[in-house]
Chain A
Amino acid sequence: EVQLAESGGGVIQPGGSLRLSCAASGFTFRNYVLNWVRQAPGKGLEWLAYVGISSRSIYYADSVKGRFTISRDDAENSLYLQLNSLRAEDTAVYYCARGVGLGDFDYWGQGTLVTVSS
């Protein structure tokens, strides 16, 4: 069974940093692309970042480019998102999502909540 489990969320002050993790199991991690998607409270879904197989390709949404960094560790079956220079508008549930190719989200984790507040 494919499983994705995010962790690392919490309450952080504006300007602060946080590292989110996504632990994967039930599939051959290195063969899949991965994404981060977020959802602000009561709002829709926003794609944030993509990392391809072997990290050959990495893409970001303009809203987080230069502040967030996506990475993967195939040996640990884990995906990461480093969040820097956090703003109130970054408050959201952050999901990791697996894909076969670019643009595809076939399985999602349960999400981790990041709250940016003083």
Chain B
Amino acid sequence: DIQMTQSPSSLSASVGDRVTITCRASQSISTYLNWYQQKPGKAPKRLIYGASSLQSGVPSRFSGSGSGTDFALTISSLQPEDFATYYCQQGYITPLTFGGGTKVEIK
């Protein structure tokens, strides 16, 4: 199985900060990498697909990069509504696997 390792597992940041979350796959997954945002008590919402394509309706302050085994999600200027948990997920091969999540909290 492909293991997805996210870092950090949590971070504290202020509104307006630039935030980067990284995700590493245990083997190459090309660009079959998606990012999701989840708020407490809510379903996950896809932000980025194919490593760098922005989901329709998602603000442009979110961006994704990477290929192979190393990926990143960047929020260029953190907004109050961005405080949530973020997950990466590989869609290269079954079993489809998620990273452990990164909780973004208010500093």
Q: For chain A, what secondary structure do more than half of its interface residues adopt (helix, strand, loop), or is it mixed? A: loop
A50 to B92, CA, bound (A): 14
Instruction: Please provide the chain A residues from 82 to 115 with a CB less than 8 Å away from any CB of chain B in the complex.
Output: 95, 101-111
Chain B interface residue number, banded:
20 to 34
Instruction: Please provide the chain B residues from 34 to 90 with a CB less than 8 Å away from any CB of chain A in the complex.
Output: 34, 36, 38, 42-46, 49, 55, 87, 89-90
Chain A interface residue number, banded:
20 to 34
Nearest residue, chain A, Cβ from B94: A59
- Determine the chain B residues whose CB is within 8 A of the CB of A104 once the complex forms: 34, 49, 91
User: Which of B34, B42, B43, B101 lies at the interface centre, i.e. has the most chain A CB atoms within 10 A of its CB?
Assistant: B43
Is A26 close to B, CB under 8 A?
no
Nearest residue, chain A, Cβ from B97: A47
Nearest residue, chain B, Cβ from A93: B43
Number of A-B pairs, beta carbon distance below 8 Å: 60
A107 to B46, CA, bound (A): 7
- Determine the chain A residues whose CB is within 8 A of the CB of B49 once the complex forms: 104, 106
Given contacts A45-B87, A104-B49, contact A61 B95 (CB under 8 A): yes
Given contacts A44-B87, A50-B94, contact A105 B46 (CB under 8 A): yes
Given contacts A45-B87, A95-B43, A109-B43, contact A103 B95 (CB under 8 A): no
Q: Closest 4 A-B residue pairs measured CB to CB?
A: A103-B91, A108-B43, A47-B96, A45-B98
